[in-house]
Amino acid sequence: FDSDVLALTDGLRCFSGVARAGIRHEPVAGSGTKAVRDTVFKWANTMLGNIKAALTGTYRAIRPRHAPRYLASFAYRFNRRYDLAAMITRLTCIGLRTPPMPQRLLKLAEVCG
């Protein structure tokens, strides 16, 4: 890794691997509620909260093997959040252009998890 890389984290113990990987690590806040209040992590905490709310609000049960699909659907919605009206039209056009896919091919996506 480049020695100019600096990882700013909330100081959780799991980030000790960052330093072992040769990246400079600087904890800027403590863990727990102190880290949540730190302005450095405001947007990271907001994004993680939005992802969690979107996943738990949409899916009844969350399974690790389906995580890539869950995150892809969240990314699709997030990237188009400013033009929600066009999302349905765009998704319909994509669906019409996509050829049918047998279930055996759809099940291949479940292997990654």
**Whole-prediction pTM value?**
0.41
Model pLDDT for residues 16-68, shown as the tens digit of each residue: 888 888 888 887 766 666 666 667 677 777 888 888 887 777 777 777 877 78
Phi/psi for 11 (5° steps) reads: 85, 10
Decide which of 4 and 36 is more confident.
Answer: 4
Mean pLDDT along residues 89-93: 88
Q: Report the chain's terminal Cα–Cα distance, integer Å.
A: 27
